[in-house]
Structure 1
Amino acid sequence: MEEDTGSDSLSRPDLRLQATTFAGYTAPSLSPAFKLDEGYSDDTRSQSDKDLVSDNVMSLPEWVLAQSEADRAEFAYSLLRSLSTTTLAGVVDRLNPLLHMDPVVKLPPELTFQIFSYLEPRTLLTASLASRSWRSRILDSGLWRVLYIDEGWRVDTRAIRNFEQEHAEALSPQTRRSRPRHSEPDLGEPKLKKRVPPSWYDTRGADGQGSSNGKVGPDNEGDHHMADASDRGTHTSIEKPGLASPSLAHNSIAFLQPPLKSSLLTRTPNGSVRVNWVHLYKQRRRLEANWHHGRYTNFQLPHPSYPEDAHQECVYAIQFQGKWLVSGSRDRTVRVWDLETKRLWHRPLRGHLKSVLCLQFDPSPEEDVIISGSSDKSVILWKFSTGQKLHQITNAHADSVLNLKFDHRYLVTCSKDRTVKVWNRHELLPNDENYPRICNSGGASYPSYIVDLNDIAPNMLEASIANGQIKSLKAYSLLMTVEGHGAAVNAMQLNGDEIVTASGDRMIKVWNIRNGTCLKTLMGHEKGIACVQFDSRRIISGSNDNTVRIYDHISGAEVACLRGHNNLVRTVQAGFGDPPGADEALRMEALEVETAFWKAQQEGAPVHLGPSALRRAGYQSNTAGSRDPRDIRAIGAKIPPGGGGSSWARIVSGSYDESILIWHKDRDGAWTIGHRLRQADAAVNAARGNLSDAARAAIQAQVRQLQAAQAPVAAPAPAPVVQQPATTQNNTQAADQDTAEDTPTPPATNNNTQIPPGPQDGSSATGPSTAGTATHPTSQPTQPAAQATAPAPMPPPPAAAAAAIPHPIAVGHQLHHPHRNRATPPTSRVFKVQFDSRKIVCASVDPRIVGWDFACGDEEILEACQFFRGL
């Protein structure tokens, strides 16, 4: 009877307890010792009244509310123990929404965006499995755009903008108004609740449905249900008021819009198309993984099927951008290539009288220009789109033009004559901001027509210009000549208002482009310097001492020395992947390393600065970026050892040892050799990848015959066959001559390095119409690769097959020609290397230009690469 009485009392309306389903309500603790997890609140009075009051829950009796919280907890516990297990489970289910608060649902999208931006991508992907609410916020395209940029990866914003404009398909207002309410694409967007008049509630019945009194409710067009966090009833598809997931937005308008053909695209709530940064980030990670693991495919210019497009002699200079590559060769021509077809874009550009040693181009419609420098001392401007010769600076220098750089303001050239010259690219008046400022205390000299702005008042200057007494300078007029190096200026870089030059005198100098003053001089290399790069924070150089060194631009301190080549480092390019605003982070990182050094010295550790660290017995200093106090060689740098940068940083260097090194960072931040590439191997792989089965069989037969013919000449011990680029004996002799005249071989007395100036006279250079044609393999009769057959013992091989025949044999480090006992000169010395986010391209003694493509033919990566830029 007592149980029945208790049961009846619990069933009365005034004592029936129900758990609210409104968000924000938090249940009281069962006892004072009960500990709540982070994010919980046990003060229910802090919640607003609208969250605590429910129209379907009876208020508690006064005698219950009069008890203390501990007594009410004990009463509730005793009451719950009297229920059956099934009923108790239902109560627990109704209490769970009050105890467990989802912060992603409660916090505004802007705040969760900031929180998630601090997490690692792997952590974010794991967290996205928690719920639909978390997934929709984490897979926000804008969030992954921030993560992409924070990785230090660059992107072509113009290409993205054009791509989005081409594919944007915003819905018309008529279509938007006509579709059903449940198909709103902005269903997950945060909106303010609409306020309705109080009389509208009178039209609602007890069951929540509209009454039949004829009153009409408000127009719901464009509105949607605002579900509370704990509302798990009718609207189960609405998780939160926040950012809609890409899949939700896509599915809601799929029947109105054509399906997206690529994962690279996603639809915004208004129906327009935008780039999917989640997919873009994923493909960039996959591409970087290919770089790390050395997965690539090889290609060559020209395509093996069109050998007639190739340069006739070695290639000294290359630059590529997007689908275009421009090359300059010893055959005196400049050629423009289409990287997609591997063919020439238009005829070779002829105008130089000697070797083309340097070039730069800009294919944009605003510039549309190629500028090239030559051993003939001249600089020529070409129209990129047509190949038309626009202008020529004859006798730009007193000797070979070894390098040049330009921007929208200036053209800067450097030469074997030890000088650097600055030219204007557009007409200049003295009152223009780009007009040179004469500095008499510097190392610059100025032509007589340059006005000294220090000696003329501004009003007199304006009057002289207005009267025509001072005329504007024509485009490509010489502004100044800078002298200061003691040997040939082999390389230079232009960045903002600073010029960085590298010379055979073992020094790097930084100049002000506006007045020609020398800002600083960097030393450290033991022999002449052949190449240099400057990114406004670091200066990277390669030298005849076989090293690559990294300097802090601000302090001039050497922060890394990379040793891996065994011959002159002719070309280097680096990408450090600095995220936005990296200056302060780099400074703090350098300060931390410096503090550790002083602390170790105070504790009596054997740490010193400078060369003494190299002379200590029993310890080999690691100068590739190690942060061990024993390895620190300079104090006061604004960047840490190794140069800093992201974990994706890389350096690519090419050398006369016929190798290309890809440097990566290890876990300690020190540079290490990730991969060693060879131009000859890339040429063979590219040629074989485009041959038919019959041609490959013919090549194998020819290789066996060559090996048999070389057997009496080779050393008694078996020697590995090194696959070299296809060159005839005449080409090998030309390479010999090239080595003697055009390579930076240092004199034995001072170890100065000079970049190849080209032939010393016209007779030493084989022209394209004479010896160049006679020595090129394509001058021989050819037959299609598909029809190639196994030839007689030593006939001239087909052109398609000759590209892959390994002529020399390597015994140790000596190359032996099958027809002579003396060693042949190297045939794959690397002259120029350039890389971007996807590929490396190399120019060498071999007339063929070869490349390594790390996209590996993956369609998704290739599609995304159109937006990727380097580090």
Structure 2
Amino acid sequence: MEGEPAPDSPSRPNLRLQAASFTAFAAPSLSPSFKLDEGYSDETRSQSEKDIISDNVMMLPEWVLAQSEADRAELAYSLLRSLSTSTLSAVVDRLNPLLHMDPVVKLPPELTFEIFSYLDPKTLLTASLASRSWRCRILDSGLWRVLYINEGWRVDTRAVRSFEQEHAEALSPQTRRARPQYSEPDLGEPKHKKRVPPTWLNSRGAEGQGPAETNGQASTEADDEGDHHMADAADRAGSLSGDAMGYVAPASILPLPSMLQPPLQSSLLTRSPNGTVKVNWVHLYKQRRRLEANWHHGRFKNFQLPHPSHMDEAHKECVYAIEFQGKWLVSGSRDRTVRVWDLETKRLWHRPLIGHAKSVLCLQFDPSPEEDVIISGSSDKSVIFWKFSTGKKIHQIANAHADSVLNLKFDHRYLVTCSKDRTVKVWNRRALSAMDENYPRICRGGGATYPSYVVDLTDMAPNILEAGIANGHIKSLRPYSLLMTVEGHGAAVNAMQLHGDEIVTASGDRMIKVWNIRNGACLKTLMGHEKGIACVQFDSRRIISGSNDNTVRIYDHVSGAEVACLRGHNNLVRTVQAGFGDPPGADEALRLEAQEVESEFFKAQAAGVPVDLGPRALRRAGHYSNTAGSRDPRDIPALGAKIPPGGGGSAWGRIVSGSYDESILIWHKDRDGAWSIGHRLRQADAVANAARGNLSEAARAAVSAQAQQLQAAQVLMTLPAQDASAQTGEVTTDPETGSESPPATNTNNAATPPPAEGVANQPTATPAVDAPPPPPPVALINQHLNQLAAGHHHHHHLHAHPRRQLAPAPTSRVFKVQFDSRKIICASVDPRIVGWDFACDEEEITEACPFFQGL
């Protein structure tokens, strides 16, 4: 044979073998020639004799094993060359397990779980196509739960737990007796392969004794997929959603446990072999990605409160405050009432809560059975406590402040209020004894003052304290007692946040202050806004604020450095909410990212790049700073922050801000990590869409025709005003388009919006003298539309005007915006509360949304 070694070759012994010689020797445990173990090997498996002979192969003589590996390879090659093609193919099939080891099958599931958790979803889904074993491990529900959390998404664990308990069906005694013995609890663990030999199936089939022919059932087919073993398929079949990621789940080889249970009606559920029902995290992950895609692309459906068919339930005047949790929303209005809404029906839950003498400016509620409370603050200086479930007034602090209560926050320990009187007050929600850890600690020399009944425990010995409590000299504080009054702002305290033991306040004096709630000490003061601050949010890492300088700013809580300034509004930013989507363990990642940005700054400085110049100098040099989170060294506004420019967070982070320019901005992060405007929403458009969505086609056509007529009339009425402005030379700027238009004044008192009371020191516009008649206000358009659709019992709101025209009176100033994972809800001058639902009535997303929480 060509290529065979010469028989007389001196370099190797004669290797000609006879068949009988292979059986003449037993292979003792011999090792190959000695070589150093250097801590590395590229062998796919151990080459010991035990492994060689463990596969029922012919025993090799001792002298063959004593040869070097190169000589044995030559011998094997020579033998293989002497075989026919069909026999050689069979040998290759037997060698495949030695050459290709599947790590997913060989490694413990805990180890593969950890490895797969580092991969992104796209890579995982591609890897799941490798084999059934890979698919079963990759589509494990627990793995996708970890991936979900690592994305920075939050989940309502209480809702998940109660959902699983609700759908878990106890097995009946008959079912327990019928349960197969192989459905033990450890079925999910990997087992050694249990492949059925084809010869066994053929022999059984020939005898007519197939294992599954009993009871008339179909016979079981042989598994011809190389690395598939029955135990894995049976164990994981219940956890694979058929349409979870666009693939079809493999059929179970052991169907009995699932067949004994009722079929699952939703892909949101998965059943383990022992009958326990669990939430399918693969499905949850997929629906959350779909929901986030709707946010990114601006796909939503509008709705309004109340439902257009029940407009008699609406507030009578503008809405200053809203808050929603789950299916409940509570609103407070200038009409002095607090109303509780069911977001599923868009209807009032019970009668309006009446008790305040003036506008309701702020509120917070907790619908849980443990709390069951609504707390509201008003222009009448009072704070009222209501029972959420019934609407009954349970307590009132009549003169909580010397002026309007502009904001309030509470937790299970404290209630904190702030006011136009420039003070912040802290009240206890539970009875407090001097031994309680939440009892106030007096701080001398700070901005806090304390009532006389608060005892200074600083230098009091424990035995004296105990004696004073025992003899009644030191009394416990009753619920809702004033603990301290904090002063330090020079103007009205417009907004505040409570987080742990810290209070963050924002004021018309352009400053943000952080206070310790236990002793009232001022911990730090943040500056940067050029005008009064109207709103603030605090998440323990960042402080986000909106101001009358039309900007939204982000500060590092630890250092107080400003890390971003967002410019996009044309008027006062009245409300802001942010969700950064920090994944677990984000503190260290944020710190390292901030250090990297600072390192780039110093490198650029050493290279001579003009990074330490002021904004004006940079503009003269042709560079316009982007302070919305850019990492360009020339754009860094401050050093020393513990978080990077823009505030950090995940790619899913978003900020929603509402303004007196009648718009709502959704800020997203671009590819460079800087904040940019993703979508601009208008409250008036949402009202119109929500109203039109409940009309018939004929009514919609009639409304559209009427709207066009009103717009044409509006354009004609603006022509004299434009002529007059041409003579005087006075112009104003349209806040939406930026185009110049003549100055507007409003002589129609009915269309003039009421003055907002939630923010002190609001700028007011001075009407021009001898101004031309205004165009038809939006209220007039609404009146026409309401008359047109009166037969349908719907009210409609149209906010449409040509680009260059006399601006109507503001009717959609945004007072409050709140968002969660699914929707945005807005309160404004309009008595109707409107929302944007990004689930878009998609059934699977809507079904999964109760388990999602915001970022």
| TM-score tier after normalising by the smaller chain length | 0.7 to 0.9
User: With structure 1 as the length reference, what TM-score do the two structures score?
Assistant: 0.82
Find the counterpart in structure 2 of residue 516 from structure 1: 520
Question: How far has the Cα of 1:68 moved from its partner?
Answer: 1.9
1:739 aligns with 2:755: yes
Alignment deviations for residues 696-725 of structure 1 (CA, whole Å, 9 cap, x no partner): 2332343244345445313399xx9x9xxx
Answer yes or no: is the 8 Å Cα contact 2:23–2:59 preserved in 1: no
What is the CA distance between 1:69 and its match in structure 2?
1.5
Normalising by the residue count of structure 2, what TM-score does the alignment of the two structures yield?
0.83
2:425 counterpart SS class = strand
2:578 aligns with 574
SS in 2 for 1:166: helix
Alignment-derived partner of residue 164 in structure 2: 164
Pick closer, same or farther for the CA change 1:735–1:830 going to 2, 3 Å: farther
2:345 counterpart of 1:334? no
Distance 2:427 2:552 in 1: 30
C-alpha deviations, 1:475-529, integer Å up to 9, x for none? Answer: 1111100000000000000000000000000000000000000000000001110
| Distance change (3 Å), C-alpha of 1:180 and 1:564 | same
Q: Measure, in 1, the Cα distance between the counterparts of 2:286 and 2:568.
A: 32
The 1:612/1:382 distance shift into structure 2, 3 A limit, reads same
Cα distance in 1 between the residues matched to 2:854 and 2:624? 34
Is the CA contact 1:830–1:845 (under 8 Å) kept in the aligned structure 2?
Answer: yes
**Alpha carbons of structure 1 residues 251 and 185: separation in structure 2 relative to 1, 3 Å:** farther
Matched to 2:115, the amino acid is: I
**CA distance in 2 between partners of 1:488 and 1:233 (Å):** 74
Q: 1:233 to 1:624 in 2, by over 3 A?
A: closer
* Residues 406, 813 of structure 1: alpha-carbon distance in 2 compared, 3 angstrom cutoff: farther
Distance 1:858 1:39 in 2: 52
Name the residue aligned to 1:312: 316
1:448 aligned to 2:464?
A: no
Q: How does 1:623-772 map to 2 (within 5 A)?
A: 623-707=627-711, 709-710=713-714, 712-715=716-719, 733=749, 736=752, 738-739=754-755, 744=760, 746=762
What are the within-5 Å matches in structure 2 for residues 786-797 of structure 1?
787=791
Separation in 2, partners of 1:170, 1:615: 71
Letter in 1 for 2:147: L
Q: What is the correspondence of 1:450-529 to structure 2 with a 5 Å cutoff?
A: 450-529=454-533
Q: 1:235 to 1:499 in 2, by over 3 A?
A: closer
The aligned amino acid for 2:392 is Q
Structure 1 residues 443 and 629: CA distance shift in structure 2, 3 A: same
Q: Provide the C-alpha distance between the structure 1 equivalents of 2:631 and 2:785, rounded to a whole number of angstroms.
A: 60
1:843 to 2:827 alignment: yes
Q: Which range is displaced more, 53-62 or 651-660?
A: 53-62
Amino acid at match of 1:853: D
| Structure-to-structure mapping, 1:608-619, within 5 angstroms | 608=612, 611=615, 615-619=619-623
- The verdict on how the C-alpha distance between 1:593 and 1:176 changes in structure 2, with shifts beyond 3 A counting, is same
Q: Give yes or no for contact 1:493–1:532 (8 Å, CA) kept in 2.
A: yes
Contact 2:406 2:758 (C-alpha < 8 Å) held by counterparts: no
1:814 aligns with 2:798: no
1-structure distance, mates of 2:535, 2:824: 17
Selected match of 2:796 from 779, 799, 803? 803
1:41 to 19, 41, 44: 44
- Secondary structure of the residue aligned to 2:308 is coil
| Aligned twin of 2:217 | none
Report the secondary structure of 2:309's partner residue: coil
Distance 1:316 1:150, change over 3 A: same
In structure 2, what is the Cα distance between the partners aligned to 1:732 and 1:869? 45
Q: CA deviation at 1:742?
A: 6.3
- The CA deviation string for residues 385-411 of structure 1, in whole angstroms up to 9 with x for no partner, is 000001110111111000000000000
Name the count of aligned residue pairs. Answer: 765
In structure 2, do the counterparts of structure 1 residues 813 and 139 end up closer, same or farther at CA, with 3 Å as the change threshold?
A: farther
Letter paired with 2:230: S
Q: CA-to-partner distance for each residue in 1:637-682, whole Å, 9 max, x for gaps?
A: 0000000000000000000111100000011110010000000000
The unaligned stretches of length 5 or more in structure 1 are 4-8, 18-26, 195-205, 209-229, 723-728, 750-774, 789-798, 816-823
Partners in 2 of 1:267 and 1:446 — Cα distance?
Answer: 59
- Residue 269 of structure 1 deviates from its aligned partner by 2.8
Alignment of 1:365-384 (within 5 A): 365-384=369-388
- How far residue 173 of structure 1 moved from its aligned partner, in angstroms, is 7.4
Compute the displacement of 1:172 (Å).
5.8
User: Match for residue 237 of structure 1?
Assistant: 230
Compute the displacement of 1:383 (Å). 0.4
User: 1:95: Cα distance to partner?
Assistant: 0.5
Q: Distance in 2 between matches of 1:365 and 1:777?
A: 45
Partner of 2:137: 137
Q: Deviations over 1:266-288 (max 9, x none)?
A: 01232100000010000000000
Counterpart of 2:814, as a letter, is: V
Deviates more, 1:511-520 or 1:230-239: 230-239
Match of 1:756 in 2: none
- Aligned residue in 2 for 1:794: none
Please state whether the residue corresponding to 1:674 is helix, strand or coil: strand
SS at match of 1:405: strand
Query: Percent of counterpart pairs with the same letter?
Result: 76
Cα separation, 2, equivalents of 1:16 and 1:99:
27
- Mapped contact 2:179–2:257 kept (Cα < 8 A): no
Structure 1's 735 and 11: CA in aligned 2 closer, same or farther, altered over 3 A? Answer: farther
2:811 aligns with 827
The verdict on how the C-alpha distance between 1:730 and 1:334 changes in structure 2, with shifts beyond 3 A counting, is farther
TM alignment of 1:186-265, pairs within 5 A: 187-190=187-190, 237-238=230-231, 246-247=239-240, 251-265=255-269
Taking the aligned partners of 1:299 and 1:623, their CA distance within structure 2 comes to 35
1:614–1:470 CA distance, 2 compared to 1 (3 A): farther
Q: What SS class does the counterpart of residue 328 from structure 1 fall into?
A: strand
- Aligned partner of residue 104 in structure 1, secondary structure: helix
Question: SS of the counterpart of 2:755?
Answer: helix
* Aligned-partner Cα distance in 1 for 2:137–2:570: 53
Tell me the amino acid that sits aligned with residue 630 of structure 2.
S
**Contact kept? 1:533, 1:540, Cα under 8 Å:** yes
For the 8 Å contact 1:299–1:683, the answer to whether it is kept is yes
Which one-letter code corresponds to 1:124 in the other structure?
L
Structure 2 residues without counterparts, runs of 5 or longer: 5-15, 25-30, 202-222, 241-250, 723-733, 737-744, 766-778
* Structure 2 counterpart SS, 1:146: helix
Partner of 1:541: 545
Residue aligning to 2:120: 120
Q: Name the counterpart of 1:604.
A: 608
Q: Secondary structure at the match of 1:556?
A: coil
Q: How does 1:171-190 map to 2 (within 5 A)?
A: 171=171, 175-176=175-176, 178-180=178-180, 187-190=187-190
Q: Deviations over 1:211-253 (max 9, x none)?
A: xxxxxxxxxxxxxxxxxxx998999535699966724679452
RMSD between superposed Cα atoms in Å:
3.7
1:855–1:103 Cα change, 3 Å: same
Q: Does 1:416 align with 2:420?
A: yes
Question: Structure 1 residues 82 and 735, CA, compared in 2 at 3 Å: closer, same or farther?
Answer: same
In structure 1, C-alpha distance between the alignment counterparts of 2:115 and 2:527, rounded to whole Å: 46
Matches for 1:256-335 after TM superposition, within 5 Å: 256-335=260-339
Contact kept in structure 2, 1:491 and 1:532, CA below 8 Å: yes
**3-state SS of the aligned residue for 1:714?**
helix
Question: Who is 1:820 aligned against?
Answer: none
Q: Which residue of 2 aligns with 1:359?
A: 363
CA distance in 1, matches of 2:18, 2:511: 95
SS state at 2:133 partner: helix
Read off the aligned partner of 2:811 and give its amino acid letter.
T
How far the C-alpha of 1:53 sits from its partner, in A, is 3.1
Partner of residue 393 from structure 2, selected from 352, 372, 389: 389
Deviation, structure 1 residue 581:
1.3
Equivalent residue of 1:715, what SS? helix
Separation in structure 2 between the aligned mates of residue 524 and residue 235 of structure 1, nearest angstrom:
63
Distance 1:449 1:600, change over 3 A: same
